[in-house]
């Protein structure tokens, strides 16, 4: 017993040291990615810096150097840096520009949701033909119960997953295995989408996509910044930080009592994630950013607001990446196979619809990650294409929280039926 405890202790447990290590990783990646060495440039042409910032902390967690899954940095990333970067990114939002993207963004988001709802029972059925014990079980150990909570996470987010855990009542051991599947499979998928973002032109060529709307939006945003950009002064940076974290504080101040009130007086609203403080934190952060976009504060973009937001975003990426455990697949490989089949169907459906309607890869990626990954991952994925597109991922993700519990419950029922075929 003593040996087991020692083996599970991370090499570095001090939070300050871990944070310093994550920042060192960011510094290393950005320094080396800008070197003119032919070999290094070739490496980063294959592996984009963003993906490396995500993957390296995951390796440290996987091999016991740090304990990313239980680190307070995880909540700091999601509760501090995520809303702060959302406010600064949305600060420059042009609602008319976003509205123009609604049709194809909505199409791929709905397709992604349908892919999760149908992919779950298909994965369970196919697995039952080869290894029925993997998707079997009795009582609280019935695998469909655990997979139902995974559907809640992959359509909505963690709040929806917890809500479905209370509804479906899987055993503690089963739920722990599902958490591992959720983290590993979703993070691998996110890694692919981040890689795809760096090669989006090749994917657009495959889809024969008309990406004119996305490219024109990016060009207009870049032209605005290029025309009006100026060297930031100290007061500009202070103002950006004040708006970002002041807005985060205000959003938290509003979110906490509202979620408590909803939980006390309208507990049934948990199915829409309306009793979850994180949902309201993201909601109010986005509203604050949108409100600021109608004020002179939007001019801070010309002093580099989105660049500072990108710094916060990269810090967030390392805290997301440090939760990945690439060795978790050894614990219950059968469930991981189910997860991979499930996401493969989700991806296939997106691929078919994207090909038919000639949709740019951006919509494919953000439509998928708004479902599978939630606000943080969708924000990261959107920003990988262009900072001006982050609002698309945020808006879709907030909507996914609203439907996640219902759609997850429907998926669970379909998986229950599939496991009995």
Q: Residue 2 has what pLDDT? A: 36
Q: Residue 156 has what pLDDT? A: 84
Q: Residue 329 has what pLDDT? A: 65
DSSP letter, residue 322: T
Confidence bin at 158 (pLDDT 50/70/90)? confident
Between the CA of residue 187 and those of 287, 344, 380, what are the distances in Å? Answer: 28, 14, 12
Q: Residue 395 has what pLDDT? A: 81
Task: For the full predicted model, state whether its pTM sits above 0.95.
Answer: no
In this structure, what are the phi and psi dihedrals at residue 171, rounded to the nearest 5 degrees? -70, 160
Confidence bin at 3 (pLDDT 50/70/90)? very low
Encode pLDDT of 396-408 as tens digits: 887 887 788 889 9
Percent of the chain whose predicted confidence (pLDDT) is above 70: 95
Tell me the average pLDDT of the chain: 87
Domains of the chain by residue range: 95-305+329-419
Encode pLDDT of 86-132 as tens digits: 899 888 777 776 677 788 889 999 999 999 999 999 999 999 999 99
Angle between helices 277-292 and 158-168 (to 10 degrees): 150
Cβ atoms 278, 411 nearer than 8 A: no
- Whether 251 shows a pLDDT value over 90: the answer reads yes
Helix-strand-coil split of the chain, %, nearest 5: 85, 0, 15
- Whether 40 shows a pLDDT value over 50: the answer reads yes
Encode pLDDT of 284-321 as tens digits: 998 898 899 899 998 998 898 888 988 998 898 899 88
Strand, coil or helix: what is 36?
coil
Q: Residue 254 has what pLDDT? A: 97
Q: Residue 7 has what pLDDT? A: 52
């Amino acid at each position: 017993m003593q040996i087991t405890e020692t083996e599970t202790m991370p090499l570095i447990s001090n939070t300050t040291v871990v944070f310093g290590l994550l920042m060192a990783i960011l510094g290393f990646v950005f320094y080396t990615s800008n070197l003119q060495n032919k070999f290094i440039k070739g490496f980063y042409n294959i592996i984009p810096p963003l993906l490396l910032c995500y993957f390296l902390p995951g390796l440290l967690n996987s091999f016991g150097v740090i304990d990313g899954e239980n680190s307070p940095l995880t909540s700091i990333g999601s509760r501090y840096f995520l809303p702060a970067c959302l406010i600064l990114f949305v600060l420059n939002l042009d609602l008319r520009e976003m509205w123009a993207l609604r049709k194809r963004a909505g199409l791929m988001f709905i397709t992604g949701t349908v892919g999760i709802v149908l992919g779950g029972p298909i994965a369970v059925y196919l697995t039952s033909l080869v290894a029925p014990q993997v998707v079997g079980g009795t009582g609280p150990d019935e695998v469909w119960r655990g997979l139902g909570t995974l559907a809640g996470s992959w359509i909505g987010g963690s709040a929806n997953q917890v809500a479905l855990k209370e509804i479906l009542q899987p055993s503690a051991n089963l739920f722990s295995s599902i958490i591992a599947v959720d983290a590993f499979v979703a993070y691998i998928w996110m890694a692919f989408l981040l890689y795809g973002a760096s090669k989006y032109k090749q994917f657009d060529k495959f889809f024969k996509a008309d990406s004119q709307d996305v490219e024109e939006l990016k060009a207009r945003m870049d032209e605005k910044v290029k025309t009006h950009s100026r060297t930031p002064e100290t007061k500009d940076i202070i103002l950006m930080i004040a708006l970002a974290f002041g807005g985060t504080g205000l959003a938290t101040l509003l979110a906490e009592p509202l979620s408590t009130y909803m939980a006390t007086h309208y507990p049934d609203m948990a199915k829409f994630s309306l009793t979850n403080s994180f949902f309201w934190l993201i909601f109010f952060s986005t509203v604050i950013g949108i409100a600021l976009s109608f004020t002179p504060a939007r001019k801070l973009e010309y002093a580099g607001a989105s660049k500072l937001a990108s710094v916060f975003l990269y810090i967030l990426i390392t805290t997301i990446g440090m939760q990945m455990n690439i060795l978790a697949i050894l614990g219950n490989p059968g469930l991981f196979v189910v997860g991979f089949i499930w996401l493969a169907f989700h991806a296939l459906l997106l691929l078919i619809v994207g090909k038919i309607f000639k949709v740019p890869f951006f919509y494919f990626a953000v439509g998928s990650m708004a479902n599978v990954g939630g606000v943080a991952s969708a924000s990261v994925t959107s920003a990988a294409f262009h900072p001006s597109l982050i609002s698309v991922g945020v808006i879709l993700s907030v909507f996914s929280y609203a439907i996640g519990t219902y759609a997850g419950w429907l998926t669970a029922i379909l998986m229950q039926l599939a496991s009995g075929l």
